[in-house]
Amino acid sequence: MSRHGRPQPEDAPGLGRRRFLTTAALGGATIVGASALGGLDADAAFAAPMKPLDPAIADSSFAEGRITAITGGLLHVAGSYGDDYKVQLTNATSIWKLRPTTADVIEAGDGMYARGVPMPDGTIAADAVWVNIVNLDCVIRGLGKDRIDLAHNNHAVHGRIVRDTTAASYQGSALTSDLSRLRIGQAVQVLGAWRPHDGSVDIARVTAGH
C-alpha cells in the first residue's frame, strides 16, 4: 500500500498479470489456466486490444508473422512488416489452431498472431497464440460433401469442412453443424485455419447473413 493509501500492484487481489506470466515463463509455477486472464477464443484474435488488467503495464504487446523456428517454448517470428519477434509460450498460454489445442501442433512455417506481456529480455510472454487463423469475407462458389469453394477478393479459396468442428451460424443464430442452408452465391464470413502447404482453409465457422 502506498503512503497515500492507494493500492499498489503487489497489493492487488490474486497474482499480478506481469508476475503471473513471468513466473509461468520461468516454469516455476503451477498455473490454473489462461482463462483467468480473460476471453481468449478465436474471435479475440481480431478484437481491439484490451487495456491491461495490471496497472503496472502500459499496454499489451501484439505480434504477428511467420514462425521461422521453434526453440523449446520460444517462437521466432518474422513479422509481415520487417519486425522480428520472440514469443515465449508458457504453461498459461492459450493456443488456437482450428480449435483450442497445445503447443505440440505448432510448426515452423505456420503463421500466427500473439498477444501477451513484454518481458525485460525483449520477448513477449504470450497470453494467447492463434496459429494460421484467418477471418475472410467470401462468396460461396461451390458446395460439396467435404468442401466449400469460396471466392475472397476475386481469389479462389478451397474451404475444407472438418468433421466435428465446422459449424454455421445463420443470421446471428446459435452455431449448428447443419450446413444445409448454405447456398451458392451467398455472402459469408469464414473463420478458419489456413494450411500453409496448399493454401486451403480448414473451416471452423461460416456465418451467413451477418
The per-residue pLDDT for range 139-176, each reduced to its tens digit, is 999 999 999 999 998 889 999 999 999 999 999 899 99
Work out whether strand 187-194 and strand 133-143 pair parallel, antiparallel, or are unpaired.
Answer: antiparallel
Q: Which residue has the higher pLDDT, 62 or 2?
A: 62
How much is the pLDDT for 33? 36
Residue 56 has pLDDT above 70, yes or no: no
Looking at residues 174-179, what average pLDDT do you find?
94
Residue 80 has pLDDT above 70, yes or no: yes
Q: Which residue has the higher pLDDT, 44 or 33?
A: 44
Residue 8 has pLDDT above 50, yes or no: no
Q: What is the pTM of this model?
A: 0.73
Looking at residues 171-200, what average pLDDT do you find?
93
How much is the pLDDT for 44? 63
Looking at residues 131-146, what average pLDDT do you find?
93
3-class SS of residue 140? strand
CA–CA dist 191, 166 (Å, integer): 10
Alpha carbon of residue 203 to chain centroid: 15
148 with 161: CB under 8 angstroms? Answer: yes
Among 14-28, 48-62, 65-79, 122-136, name the one with the lowest average pLDDT: 14-28
Among 6-10, 92-96, 154-158, 165-169, name the one with the lowest average pLDDT: 6-10
CA–CA dist 132, 209 (Å, integer): 25
Q: Considering only CA atoms, which of 116, 121, 134 is closest in space to residue 52?
A: 116
Looking at residues 5-12, what average pLDDT do you find?
38
How much is the pLDDT for 65? 92
Per-chain mean pLDDT for the chain:
79
Backbone angles phi, psi at 193, to 5 degrees: -120, 120
Buried b (16+ CB within 10 A) or exposed e, 159-190: bbbbeebbbbbbeeeeeeeeeeeeeeeeebeb
Q: Which residue has the higher pLDDT, 17 or 205?
A: 205
Residue 183 has pLDDT above 80, yes or no: yes
